[in-house]
Chains A and B, each alone.
Chain A
Amino acid sequence: MFLTKIKYLVLCVLCLVVFAVSAQEPLTARQVVEGFQSQLLAAMKKGKQIGYSGRYEALYAPVSDSHDLTKIVRIVVGKEWEGLSKEQQEILVATFSKYSVASYAHNFKEYSGESFVFDSEEETARGGVVVHSHLVIPNDKAVKFDYNLKEIAGHWKVINIIANGVSDLAVKRSEYTNILQHEGFDALIAKINEKITIYSKQ
């Protein structure tokens, strides 16, 4: 009898250990994307009630956690990154982070039955992963979303989104490098802040 109890106890402890270990395992690239998409849909569902500021608050953590915003900024400004001071780099990352969340909060403001569907996953030559998915929009054509992720410090992070073949990173890179080269750092920050203000007012 006593032995049986011990057996159950050991079994329970083992279950707890397995659970704890599995709970600590880092998320896969697909899980990161799907987690972010579900949080985005959740923000859209209550989008009208909570308004822009509510959506901004609701999306700040999901965007920051699932995207490697520092790496994105580095790629977006290209070679110009090395020419920026440490302080400028920090300002740029902080401003860009706000802008990224603001654009999500502004553009995904309401819910009309949309859903994300996972299509496939593939590894890239340089050790990254591309998660292919599409957004189903009722009474409209689906939009293909491909998420490019990199493993950084053991965690998968989104570093680019390609929608129907258009890379968000490549479009931004073209703009940001040009502005940095011709107008300078302060002008770039002013323009990004201007966009954040526009997003917050509409």
Chain B
Amino acid sequence: MAAYLLNLFALWAGKKRVFYFLSLLFVVISGCASQPVLEHTPTVKKSDPYEKINRKVFVFNDYLDEYLAEPISNAYQYIAPQFVKNSIFNFYTNLRNFNVIFNDVLQAKFNQSAKDSGRLAVNTSLGLLGIFDVAKDLGFEQNDEDFDQTLAVWGVPEGPYLVLPIVGPLTLRGVPGAVFDTATNPTSYVGAPIQLLSILNARANAEGALKFIDEAALDPYLFTRESFLQWRRNLSSDGEGSQSLDLEELDEELDKSALSSTSTLPKLRNSFKASSLVFDKTIYHFEQAVEDYRQAESKLNRFKK
């Protein structure tokens, strides 16, 4: 199953060209990079309470990738002609569409599910079991849906960030999501050779993203975590504003920290508020006293009369 998940991640990341500056979007594949991962004493972050153990698993995955997955993948990249690699990639992407359509329906995206069904039908028939992506030329874009996103749409919180051995980065919500996706993908029910090829295809397609992490990340663990979480949140919300407030929040935090470190204004403001409350109470009591005095005076006048 783990291997299968690896394949899924890579299919999500299915880009032929990942040299672009922000191909960090596709860093989710196996959560490993051949850079030393630092043994920090982590500051506990809300979304990553298990950072200490996660970092250790990340290092393990890194070694596994460096000494096992990467050499095999390099051999595959070297031996297989490009059109064969493209065909294999298309074949597995097409199979994944069963799962995509299922999740379209579960998320009530009926229009999209119709398009994805059309994509599957065209590529399975005209595209010769999916080895040619004919649907793309007809304007059917490949959509990314999975059960983790469905759970997000249903309001299930993502839970803590996890790095699992071999599998790589996930959130707690992603665990049942991955089980469901595995069960709904035809590759799970065929023989070992097809599954092994699926892993090989996954790792080969992850190459660009892993290289990008190697080049860009100062701390590969944090780089992967942040990119993964943001990327998943963006997918779950279909790109609707998951990051729109990001900068505002960061900026606000900066302003707050600058304010607290450079001035005592907030304290003054609070003490002013407290003082004004006391002042309000004093005025109230004074007014009460005046009222009492007036009443007493009128009583006295009446008494005099």
Contacts and interface: CB of A to CB of B under 8 A. Distances in A.
Interface stretch (B36-44, B123-131, B277-285): B36-44
A28 B178 CA distance: 45
Contact of A148 (B226, B234, B247): B247
Contacts of A179: 218-219
A130 B244 contact: yes
A182 B22 contact: no
A107 B251 CA distance: 28
A78 interface: yes
A178 B226 CA distance: 13
B222 interface: yes
Interface stretch (A13-21, A31-39, A85-93, A167-175): A167-175
A125 to B, nearest CB: 6
Given A125-B248, A178-B40, A165 B222 contact: no
Nearest to B41: A182
Nearest to A159: B247
B248 A195 contact: no
B15 A140 contact: yes
A175 B215 contact: no
A144 B244 contact: no
A160 interface: yes
A107 B230 contact: no
A169 B216 contact: no
A173 B45 CA distance: 13
B243 A162 contact: yes
Contacts, number: 138
Interface residues of B, number: 47
A167 B22 contact: no
Contacts of A159: 247
Contact of A164 (B16, B142, B231): B231
Contacts of B226: 170-171, 174-175
B20 A107 contact: yes
A108 B21 contact: yes
B119 to A, nearest CB: 14
Interface in A21-65: none
B17 interface: yes
B246 A167 contact: yes
B24 interface: yes
B248 A170 contact: no
A103 B239 contact: no
A128 B247 contact: yes
B257 A195 contact: no
A192 interface: yes
A163 B248 contact: no
A191 B223 CA distance: 14
Given A160-B247, A164-B231, A165-B233, A75 B225 contact: no
A115 interface: no
Interface string A129-154: 01000010101110111101000000
Nearest to A137: B17
A196 B151 CA distance: 41
B215 A199 contact: yes
B223 A164 contact: no
Contacts of B43: 178, 181
A7 B234 CA distance: 61
Given A82-B261, A140-B15, A173-B250, A103 B216 contact: yes
A108 B22 CA distance: 10
Contacts of A78: 250, 253-254, 257
Given A128-B247, A174-B222, 5 more contacts: A75-B251, A81-B254, A165-B233, A171-B222, A174-B226
8 contacts: A79-B261, A109-B19, A126-B251, A126-B252, A160-B247, A175-B219, A178-B40, A178-B219
Interface of B: 15-17, 19-22, 24-25, 38, 40-43, 141-142, 215-219, 222-223, 225-227, 230-231, 233-235, 239, 242-244, 246-248, 250-254, 257-258, 261-262
Interface of A: 74-75, 78-79, 81-82, 103-104, 106-109, 124-126, 128, 130, 135, 137, 139-141, 143-146, 148, 159-171, 173-176, 178-179, 181-183, 188, 191-192, 195, 198-199, 202
